[in-house]
Every structure is written in structure tokens, then in C-alpha cells.
Structure 1
Amino acid sequence: MRIVPRIKPDGGGTITFFLAHGAGRQLCRLATTFATQKQAFSYLQKYRTEFERIARTRLDSGELEDGVVVLSML
């Protein structure tokens, strides 16, 4: 999984990561309300398995927004 944190000006942020899916990779985006990249990254790592499971389910059912699996905090 490759992770690229991005923080929005309003204090919220997104973290993008790639999910291994067969021989390919799927871009996923997790929206968070954390003020810092460190907090958001820590949250993603803590719940990584759950987010990957949700992302795979959404990918398999075709729930994509512009080719990206969009997730939000649990």
C-alpha cells in the first residue's frame, strides 16, 4: 500500500493510497477530519485492514467516483 497524505485548508484532509487488486493497483481516497498529516496517517494505519476490506467491497461492486474508491472515517 502506498500512502500520500494531503491536508485541506479547512483542517480536514485526505489520504490517498493504492490497493493491490489482482495484478493491478486501485487508487483509493480516505477523507479525514484530522488537523495534521501525522494524525490522519496514524488513523489509517490503525484501521488499515478494515479500510482495505471496505475498499475491495466497493471496487468489486463498482462504487467508484471518477475511477477512485472514496472512503471516509469509520
Structure 2
Amino acid sequence: MILTPRDHAHACGYTRKLFVSDGSTDLTIYVHPDADLDGAFVAICADDGKRFRVNGWMMSECEDINEGEAN
């Protein structure tokens, strides 16, 4: 069974969906609900499901995305 990036993220506990930007790169990601967004944290890309580290202090924009469902 092939999981969508959303299903993969949720299965790993990454249930909070965010839009983040550093001014030149925009990403939609999933993070743990209790992730410290001011520090370094692990995210899963909402487009391809790849896991990577984000340096929160480098973000110029960070917005929660409500998917219209319970997390």
C-alpha cells in the first residue's frame, strides 16, 4: 500500500500542517503538534513526504493550515 504524504505524516505523528517561508522558499509541511517552531525541528513535506530538518529561527513566515479535520 502506498501512503500519501499526508497519511505518511499522520502515521508518524506529524499532524500539524504549516505553511512556512524564509522569504525565498515556500513550503507546506507537517510537524509534531508540540514542535518548538523557534528552534530546529523535523518536518515532513506535504508535497513529497520526505523528512527534513527546519531551522525555525530562519523562517520569516509560519502559518497553521486548518485541514478542516481533527488532528
Q: Which structure is richer in relative contact order (CA contacts within 8 A, separation 6 or more)?
A: 2
Higher helix share: 1
Per the normalisation by structure 1, the TM-score is: 0.32
TM-score (normalizing by structure 2): 0.32
